[in-house]
Amino acid sequence: MAMRKIRFREALREAMEEEMRRDSTVFLMGEEVAEYNGAYKVSQGMLEEFGAKRVIDTPIAELGFAAIGVGAAMSGVRPIVEFMTWNFAVLAFDQIVNHAAKMRAMSAGQLKVPIVFRGGTGAAGQLAQQHSQTFESWMANVPGLKVISVSNPYDAKGLLKSAIRDDDPICFMESEMMYSDIGEVPEEEYLIPIGVADVKREGTDVTITCFNKMVKVALEAAEELAKEGISAEVIDLRTIRPLDEAAIIKSVKKTNRLVSVDESWPYASVSSEIAYRVQKHAFDYLDAPVTRVNSADTSLGYAPTLVDEYMPNPKKIIQAVKAVMYK
């Protein structure tokens, strides 16, 4: 396929535009998505093409517009609900968790909720405690929801298109720090299947699992480890629920070691689930205990020095890898 380089925000926009041209039941709603072109300019130009009935500015009321989206999805259309940040989506958890996630089961399969909730997650610099939380593990805990967390423009476009076509409610996690990232994306249409991880770097000595912006951090650590003769395999999970357990187990059986990198807090995190599954299915292959690299088990402070101490970084990953290598 012919490739060109575009920004992360442009990849997301292309995914939405293509699906809205393909299917007249798809529409976008959220704070500032229309007149302002999106808080991060993801929806720039979409109002002009699709009009105010399909690109809809909402009040600052996440519970309200999430509820409208869920009801609309139940009636047969395909809403994309943009949260300016998943931190604000906490206000809409009743609709996401108690309604969108459960409606198919409560209706004995008679009702589908084909809706995508998308927006920024995780720390984005000095935004302090109420704007820096990581939500993949929160949402993945809920049966009935699918959770996607992307790390680059190519995956963002292919997985968002698949999410919009899916008949289940999907939480689509982005990073405010990656909207300007540039990457190669095909000119032709393509889809990436939900539930399939991607090996971003092959290796033989240790497996590093990661997702979202931690992929870039893990790859940086892998480059440094290679200079010391340590070959790290970096797996981008891409989908948190359903998790590509087979890809992780296959890699661990090859490398015999696992470091799970996860921006979530350590308690009940995605890395916790991965550690459990690996010890259950590949215990005899492990040459060292599974090690995790998470954010600090505290709320994120404002000071830049606290941000540096709080976040996973290449140095912490390298230390964790060496700990399992020389156990």
User: DSSP assignment, residue 213?
Assistant: T
CATH number where 118 lies: 3.40.50.970
On whether residue 191 sits in a domain, the answer given is no
- Per-residue pLDDT at 216: 97
3-state secondary structure 85-100: CHHHHHHHHHHHHHHH
Same domain, 320 and 203: yes
User: DSSP assignment, residue 209?
Assistant: E
Same domain, 123 and 268: no
Domain C-terminal end among 186, 219, 238: 186
Same domain, 62 and 161: yes
Locate 127 and state its tokens: 């935004």
CATH number where 218 lies: 3.40.50.920
At 123, the pLDDT band (50, 70, 90 cuts) reads: confident
On whether residue 297 sits in a domain, the answer given is yes
- Per-residue pLDDT at 272: 97
Same domain, 126 and 216: no
Strands, DSSP E only, in 152-269?
170-174, 182-186, 198-201, 206-210, 232-236, 239-241, 258-262
On whether residue 305 sits in a domain, the answer given is yes
Catalytic residues: 62, 131
User: DSSP assignment, residue 284?
Assistant: G
Same domain, 304 and 223: yes
Percent of the chain with pLDDT over 90: 92
Q: Torsion angle, CA of 69/75/80/85, rounded to 10 degrees?
A: 20
On whether residue 59 sits in a domain, the answer given is yes
Residue 251, judged by CB atoms within 10 A of its CB (0-12, 13-18, 19+), counts as buried
Does the pLDDT of residue 319 top 90, yes or no?
yes
Q: What is the mean pLDDT of residues 248-274?
A: 97
Q: What is the mean pLDDT of residues 303-314?
A: 89
Same domain, 142 and 43: yes
On whether residue 294 sits in a domain, the answer given is yes
Does the pLDDT of residue 16 top 80, yes or no?
yes
Same domain, 179 and 310: no
| Residue matched to tokens 């889809």 | 191
Same domain, 235 and 115: no
Contact (Cβ atoms closer than 8 angstroms) between residue 119 and residue 136: no
The stretches of 44-106 forming alpha helices (DSSP H) are 46-50, 62-74, 86-89, 93, 103-106
On whether residue 289 sits in a domain, the answer given is yes
Contacts (Cβ under 8 Å, ≥6 apart) of 243:
140, 195, 237, 273, 274, 277
On whether residue 193 sits in a domain, the answer given is no
Of 106, 313, 86, nearest to 220 by C-alpha is: 313
Same domain, 263 and 155: no
Does the pLDDT of residue 51 top 90, yes or no?
yes
Contact (Cβ atoms closer than 8 angstroms) between residue 158 and residue 190: yes
- Per-residue pLDDT at 99: 97
Q: Before 242, cis peptide (omega within 30)?
A: yes
- Per-residue pLDDT at 126: 76
Same domain, 274 and 176: no
Same domain, 84 and 150: yes
Q: What is the mean pLDDT of residues 90-99?
A: 96
- Per-residue pLDDT at 128: 74
**Kind and range of the H or E element at 29?**
strand 26-30
State the DSSP string of 303-327: SHHHHHHHS--HHHHHHHHHHHHT-
Give the integer Cα–Cα distance in Å for 16 and 305: 38
At 163, the pLDDT band (50, 70, 90 cuts) reads: very high
| Residue matched to tokens 């600090």 | 296
- Per-residue pLDDT at 265: 94
**Structural domain count of the chain:** 2
Domain C-terminal end among 134, 156, 186: 186
Same domain, 68 and 168: yes
On whether residue 290 sits in a domain, the answer given is yes
Contact (Cβ atoms closer than 8 angstroms) between residue 65 and residue 59: yes
Domain C-terminal end among 160, 186, 212: 186
Does the pLDDT of residue 127 top 80, yes or no?
no
Locate 304 and state its tokens: 């830049």
The domain of 97 spans 3-186
- Per-residue pLDDT at 125: 78
